[in-house]
Amino acid sequence: MGSALRAPRLGLLLLALAALPLPLPLPLALPLPLPLPLPLPLALPLALPLALAEASGQGHWCYQSQVKAESCQGPWEWSDLSDTQCNGSEQSPVNIFTAQVKHNASLGPFSFQDYDKKQNWTLKNNGHSVEVTFEPLRLSGGGLQGTYKAVQFHLHWSDSVEQGSEHTLDGERFAMEMHIVHIKEKFQTVTEASEGDDREGIAVLGFLVKNGSENPAFGNLISLLKKIQEKDQSSLLPEVRLCDFLPSEDKLNRYFRYLGSLTTPGCQEKVIWTLFKEPIELDENQITSFSKTLFYDSKKTMPMKDNFRPVQIRGRREVQVSGAGSLLPSARAATLAPALTSLLVSLLL
Does the annotation count 156 as an active-site position?
A: no
Could you give the CA distance from residue 41 to residue 66 in angstroms, rounded to a whole number? 30
Q: DSSP alpha helices (H): ranges in the chain?
A: 2-18, 26-29, 40-56, 64-67, 190-195, 216-222, 284-293, 330-348
Q: Cβ(124)–Cβ(131) under 8 Å? A: yes
Helix, strand, coil % over all residues of the chain, rounded to 5:
30, 25, 45
Listed residue (89, 80, 103, 62) closest to 307, CA to CA = 62
CA 259, chain centre distance (Å)? 13
Contacts of 333 (CB under 8 A, 6+ apart): none
CA 92, chain centre distance (Å)? 7
Could you give the CA distance from residue 275 to residue 180 in angstroms, rounded to a whole number? 11
Q: Cβ(221)–Cβ(290) under 8 Å? A: no
Catalytic residue among 60, 128, 156, 167: 128
- Can you say whether the dihedral through the CA atoms of 312, 253, 177, 285 is positive or negative? positive
Label residues 255-288 b or e (16+ Cβ within 10 Å = b).
bbbbbbbbbbbbbbbbbbbbbbbbbbbbbeebbb
Looking at the DSSP assignment, which residues form a beta bridge with residue 303? Answer: 295
Q: Cβ(175)–Cβ(164) under 8 Å? A: yes
Catalytic (active-site) positions = 128
